[in-house]
A = this chain, B = another copy of it.
Amino acid sequence: MTIDAQRRAPLSRERVLSAAIGIADESGVASLTMRKLAERLDSEAMSLYYHVSNKEDVLDGVVDAITQEINEAVAGIDPPASPELWKPAARRRILRAREVFLKHPWAPAVFATRTTQSMQVMRYYDGLVGLMRAGGFSNDVIHHALHALGSRALGFTQELFDPGNGQAPDQDALAAMAEHLPHLVGMLAEVAHDDPGSTLGWCDDQTEFEFGLDIVLDGLDRLR
């Protein structure tokens, strides 16, 4: 152990994982490398391997840590006072979880690449199952429900459609696309016209997330 290593706080799995999240928050997952990670911890890349088995393990741990943050944020939510109230309770829970992802915009892409089960993710789903049980659902419907919600249960969705990445598309670009994408351009032109003062960007992510969530929750409620 060098003098440097003695002076600083000792490494640990937790410190490695929280440093990894810090790097991704500040400069994106692409710049999360073992060497950068070590540098942020005033250490050497090879030292990490004593606390973490490899980079995949780091990413698994990051997913676990973020979901743990969600589990803590969600722990204080009151259980529904009566079965019919499962829906607002689930809604609150999911929107609370979403707040955590808003702090880590790179996280959905990392979650998408994981193949191993995260203990914390299972804990999160366990809570949701309990909520729906209390709401009067059968285990069979709950099982389908978990699949139907997918990542939406954790507070994020895969957005493939996001014209202009949150910026209003300019009229010239729209006109150029009109020939090949008549319906889409027509839709965008009308939606833009309806909401001309929007400076928040093209689509309000929060509104859209809640819209989709409510459709699924309402549909599930009908199956109770």
Q: How many copies of this chain?
A: 2
Minimum CB–CB distance from A45 to chain B (whole Å) comes to 20
**Overall SS of chain A's interface:** helix
Report if A182-B126 is in contact (Cβ < 8 Å); known contacts: A143-B187, A147-B161, A208-B148: yes
Q: Report A174-189 CB contacts with B as 1/0, cut-off 8 Å.
A: 0001001111101100
Q: A117-B165, A123-B181, A147-B209 are in contact. List 4 more A-B contacts (CB 8 A).
A: A127-B183, A140-B190, A147-B211, A216-B219
Interface residues of A (CB under 8 A from B): 108-109, 111-113, 115, 117, 121-123, 125-127, 129-130, 133, 139-140, 142-144, 146-151, 153-154, 157-165, 177, 180-184, 186-187, 190-191, 194, 203, 208-209, 211-212, 215-216, 218-220
